[in-house]
């Protein structure tokens, strides 16, 4: 059965399964290889490893939020082509989720304890954006990806210079986020009002600060 022929009930079940995989299990990834595959582990001090792990934990939670946003938007999107676009973007974000989790394992660190909370909140925001209309939903995607791009640039500057593995992952994530933003705008996304952009930045700041510690 083609994805666009799923009933609303089936979509809810699939969405619930995807939510469980995102927060507690292993996400369904695409065919792409981990950008860090084949790169040697760098020598880092304990302080550098801890700081890198905290940054990667933030990025992992950011991808949990991205999954929730896309799933919420796909659930309420009105046009089938918009829904399909959201679902493909969510698949590619799953790659990021898996790569970040793998890197956390390599650094002997853990995922955030707050992931279920951030998933629930982001899903609600995504669903609300979808209900507002496809042009606003797509505009929300574009602005989200632009803010994530800036966030990744900041982390790339903070990483230890010798940590090639983490850097390769974040560089590929950044490239994907730029691509997703471009697709959203080309599909008809509209620029969001200033107050909404500011609220998104403040929410992101709350997430990064809390996940850095928890």
Domains and CATH numbers, the chain: 48-213 (1.20.1260.10)
Residue 54 pLDDT greater than 90, yes or no: yes
Query: What does the pLDDT read at residue 25?
Result: 65
Write out the binding residues: 63, 93, 96, 145, 177, 180
Write out the binding residues for Fe cation: 63, 93, 96, 145, 177, 180
| 8-17, 76-85, 144-153, 180-189: least confidently modelled range | 8-17
- % of the chain at pLDDT higher than 90: 36
Residue 136 pLDDT greater than 80, yes or no: yes
| 4-8, 107-111, 187-191: least confidently modelled range | 4-8
Residue 177 pLDDT greater than 60, yes or no: yes
Q: Using CB atoms within 10 Å of the CB of residue 59, give its burial: 0 to 12 exposed, 13 to 18 middle, 19+ buried.
A: buried
The larger pLDDT score, comparing residue 26 to residue 95, is at 95
The pTM for the full model equals 0.84
Residue 184 pLDDT greater than 80, yes or no: yes
Query: What does the pLDDT read at residue 163?
Result: 95
One-character DSSP codes across 158-187: HS-TT-HHHHHHHHHHHHHHHHHHHHHHHT
């Amino acid at each position: 059965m083609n994805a666009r022929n799923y009933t609303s009930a089936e979509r809810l079940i699939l969405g619930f399964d995807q939510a469980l995989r995102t927060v507690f299990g292993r996400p369904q990834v695409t065919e792409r290889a981990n950008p860090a595959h084949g790169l040697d582990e760098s020598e880092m001090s304990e302080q550098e490893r801890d700081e890198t792990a905290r940054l990667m934990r933030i990025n992992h939670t950011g991808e949990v939020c991205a999954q929730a946003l896309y799933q919420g938007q796909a659930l309420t999107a009105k046009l089938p082509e918009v829904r399909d676009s959201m679902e493909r973007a969510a698949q590619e974000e799953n790659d990021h989720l898996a790569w970040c989790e793998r890197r956390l394992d390599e650094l002997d660190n853990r995922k955030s304890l707050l992931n279920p909370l951030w998933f629930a909140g982001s899903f609600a925001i995504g669903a609300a954006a979808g209900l507002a209309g496809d042009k606003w939903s797509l505009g929300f995607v574009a602005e989200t990806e632009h803010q994530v791009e800036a966030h990744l640039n900041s982390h790339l500057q903070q990483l230890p210079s010798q940590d090639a593995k983490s850097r390769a992952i974040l560089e590929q994530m950044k490239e994907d986020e730029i691509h997703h933003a471009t697709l959203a705008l080309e599909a008809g996304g509209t620029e969001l009002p200033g107050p909404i952009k500011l609220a998104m930045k403040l929410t992101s700041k709350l997430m990064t600060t809390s996940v850095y510690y928890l």
